[in-house]
């Protein structure tokens, strides 16, 4: 009897435990589902487009090179009589228009770490010089007007760290640096020549990237972006027929832009 009673009690206990498990399991599944709904979905892909402008760049170095080469004469203008103008050479027109575009793609592979690709293009202005080549005792002025125009395309791979709305990144960059050298030689009204030389160099450098996005975790966001693009010095070929030597000028510059992006 005792053995049968113990067996019966064990069977009832096993049934009770099984029943409790069957009752608690749906509650466990429901609690997990509720927790997953409460936790925001991790958005791993990030696409953004920016427009901005650049600061610094090659202008200062090019102005010094033009001064050293003698392209710093006062411009001679003629209207009834000939004389120097008020323009001081060399000088630069630094392109500050907010039309330098940038496209960015990022993947959040291990929060807060992300890897991304950047493609950007920018025109960076021009530098102008003037060389008076008037022969001695000549009645009419002769001159060489030199201009150097700069532009750059950037391709970079960036590893970044995100802390809430703030993102900091760094990585290698490949820069396609373009320079257009133009000389307008005026000897007389029947002796005018124009020489234009295009030059492109590839430079391997670095990029430091800063971003401030708002809202920090939404599907659509706006972002302030700042970068320092380190390219180092770039060689501009000579214009030997105009006594302008090859120069090494520094293309390092800052980029600041505003953009919109999506996270998916």
pLDDT value at 207 more than 80: yes
Domain co-membership, 130 together with 6: no
> What is the distance between the alpha carbons of residues 174 and 156, in angstroms, rounded to a whole number?
6
Are 206 and 173 in contact by the 8 Å Cβ rule? The answer is yes
Domain match, 35 and 49 both = no
What phi and psi values does residue 136 have, to the nearest 5 degrees?
A: -60, 140
Tell me the per-residue pLDDT of 102-124, one tens digit each, with 9 for 90 and over.
999 999 988 899 999 999 999 99
Looking at the fold, whether 152 and 212 belong to one and the same domain comes out as yes
Q: Which domain holds residue 28?
A: 1-39
Residues 93 and 170 in one domain: yes
61 and 115 inside one domain: yes
91 burial via Cβ count (<10 Å: 0-12, 13-18, 19+):
middle
Q: What is the CATH number of the domain that holds 147?
A: 2.40.160
| pTM score | 0.77
Both 71 and 21 in a single domain? Answer: no
Same structural domain, 78 and 173 = yes
**20-76 pLDDT tens trace:** 444 444 434 444 444 444 456 678 999 999 999 999 899 999 999 999 999 999 886
Number of domains making up the chain: 2
pLDDT, position 102 = 97
Paired sense of beta strands 91-93 and 76-79, if any: unpaired
Whether 114 and 24 map to the same domain: the answer is no
Distance of CA 6 to the CA centre of its chain: 80
127 and 46 in a common domain: yes
């Amino acid at each position: 009897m005792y053995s049968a009673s113990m067996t019966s009690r064990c069977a009832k206990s096993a049934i009770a435990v099984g029943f409790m498990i069957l009752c608690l399991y749906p509650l466990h599944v429901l609690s997990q589902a509720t927790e997953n709904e409460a936790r925001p979905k991790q958005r791993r892909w990030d696409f953004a487009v920016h427009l901005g402008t650049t600061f610094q760049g090659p202008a200062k170095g090019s102005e010094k090179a033009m001064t050293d080469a003698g392209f710093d004469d006062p411009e001679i203008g003629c209207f009834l009589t000939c004389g120097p103008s008020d323009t001081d050479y060399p000088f630069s027109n630094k392109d500050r228009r907010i039309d330098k575009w940038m496209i960015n793609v990022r993947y959040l592979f291990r929060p807060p770490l992300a890897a991304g690709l950047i493609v950007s293009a920018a025109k960076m202005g021009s530098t102008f010089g003037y060389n008076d080549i008037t022969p001695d005792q000549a009645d009419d002025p002769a001159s060489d007007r030199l201009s150097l125009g700069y532009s750059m395309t950037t391709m970079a791979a960036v590893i970044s760290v995100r802390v809430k709305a703030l993102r900091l990144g760094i990585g290698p960059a490949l820069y396609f640096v373009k320079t257009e050298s133009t000389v307008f030689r005026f000897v007389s009204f029947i002796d005018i020549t124009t020489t234009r030389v295009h030059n492109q160099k590839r430079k391997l450098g670095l990029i430091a990237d800063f971003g401030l996005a708002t809202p920090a975790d939404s599907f659509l966001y706006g972002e302030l972006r700042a970068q320092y693009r380190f390219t180092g010095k770039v060689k501009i070929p000579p214009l030997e027929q105009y006594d302008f030597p090859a120069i090494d000028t520094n293309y390092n510059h800052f980029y600041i832009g505003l953009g919109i992006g999506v996270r998916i």
